[in-house]
A and B are shown apart, each in its own frame.
Chain A
Amino acid sequence: MLFDFANVLVFLGLGFAFVGVNLLIGRLLRPSNPQARKLSTYECGEPASGSAWVNFNIRFYIVALIFIIFEVEIAFVFPVATAFRRWIESGQGLFAFVEIVVFVGILFLGLIYAWAKGDLEWVKKVKA
């Protein structure tokens, strides 16, 4: 068990090392000739107007919020899904199924709510 997860750690480490070593080799080989113009931000050839660290569309936050709810739900359904077959074998299949329907149904209501509120539209219509 630990051996298996140690493999994950080794892969993560080696992935990091691979990128690092390649960049290091590159540093030894590639030219380095920085100039102020070259290092300026690309904005289609025009001088960049201001920083890009500005407020951006609130849509992205709403998508992230809806995502969190469903992702957590998926994480919760995983153990149930794994044990579902055992439930069926012990004759409690229908009960387990109803439980799943209730759990998923509540979250699905959430999706319907967000839909009805117009939060799934990319361009939300605001009532005047």
Chain B
Amino acid sequence: MQQLVDQLIQEGYFEGVPKDFVYTGFMVLVALLVLSFFVAPLAGITSWLERRVWARIQSRVGPNRVGPQGILQWLADGIKNLLKEDIIPTAADKRLFALAPYVVFVGFFATFVVIPFGSQLIVADLNIGILYLLAITSLVVVGILMAGWSSNNKWSLLGGMRSAAQIVSYEIPAGLALLTIVFAAGTLSMQGIIKAQGWAPWDWLLFYNPFTFAAFFLYFTAALAEGNRTPFDIPEAESELVAGYVTEYSGMRFLFFFFAEWGNLYVIGAIATTLFLGGWQIPPITDHPVLVGILQFIVFFLKAYLWVFVAMWVRGTLPRVRVDQLMSLCWKYMVPLSFICLLGTAAWMVIWPQGNRVASFVMFLIGVAILGLFFRRVRFQIRHAQPVLYWKPYI
């Protein structure tokens, strides 16, 4: 981006304007564009789609009234929440209570700085990309703890504490799974990691060795837990904690917590895509720079959104785990396993410094076999249970 702005300045578009002003103006413009044309509609449409997908999983219809197929439901929800009275309990710590949604939202929104939508489409390719992601997403924990504590409500406090314990616990396996990829790619920059992969699935870091393959699943599970998603949504378990840390929130402040949650789903998918699934890499079919950019964006978006869909599907399918099961799953299974992945990848690199193409290809075939087995199983279930299927995806 800097080169582009420098070029515009040299061509004399901004005569007499100080250079820093031009830079700042462009940065604010880019951030505004990302926010209003990508993040806000994305989080909104994800919330609508999740409700639709869920509804179909549970044999319901879901919101389908506002706009075609209900796709504008998120706008209606936003306007409604905007017009709702803002209630701050008298017993609450008002300043912290008001600040909490800011912290949660900022911690989520700032992740979009380093998400690479294409080889040119990135706000800033920080050289510490992954470390930055780990650091900035930790802000969300602070916000949730603030919300839980400041509400002065027992449900909120319990929800906030549970959430903090859960998020910090699952940050360890998630961080170690990311480290596994840093070992394999040898860089922290998001673009660098994508460039270390190829467009073909067997060139993805997912299939680099058996350990990165396992690390992917560890990362995805841990990321679901970090996003407070089912089956790890005990911080806001309705049946025991009312609404957890958002119990006392209403209207717009309430909305921002869920804005961040639904937007975060896409961030999880985008990180998984960048690190494991080859990011924006496309086959060399065209040289046209604009066409390449569009194709890269589409490929990246679809790969990332696939995982959003999987997260919705998981939420519609699995029951919630108990708090002690949650902790033992993290510390007794996922942390040791991710340590093994880390050391295994390091050992693999010492043994095969150039990578092992045969092993990658075998891993790819195993992956395809697992997927095939899954679909076979689905077909078996359908044949066995003889359900009445409606193939119409909408009503």
Contacts and interface: CB of A to CB of B under 8 A. Distances in A.
Interface of A: 1, 3-8, 10-12, 14-16, 18-20, 22-23, 25-27, 29-34, 36, 38-44, 48, 51-53, 56-57, 59-60, 63-64, 66-67, 70-71, 74-75, 77-78, 81-82, 84-86, 88-89, 93-94, 97, 100-101, 104, 108, 111, 115, 120-123
8 contacts: A29-B82, A30-B82, A52-B157, A60-B165, A70-B175, A75-B131, A78-B188, A121-B324
Counting chain B CB atoms within 10 Å of each CB, the highest count among A18, A31, A40, A64 belongs to A18
B214 interface: no
A6 B82 contact: no
Contact of B113 (A8, A16, A26, A42): A8
Interface in B162-189: 164-165, 168-169, 171-172, 175-176, 179, 182-183, 186-188
Q: Is the interface of B mostly helix, strand, loop or mixed?
A: helix
A22 B82 contact: yes
Interface residues of B, number: 86
Counting chain B CB atoms within 10 Å of each CB, the highest count among A82, A108, A111 belongs to A82
Nearest to A7: B124
Contacts, number: 218
A120 to B, nearest CB: 5
B242 A7 contact: no
Given A12-B110, A15-B110, A88-B349, A7 B82 contact: no
Contact of A97 (B28, B154, B176, B346): B346
Contacts of A56: 157-158, 161
Interface string B113-150: 10000000001111100111010000000000000010
Contact of A14 (B32, B130, B172, B252): B32
B109 A67 contact: no
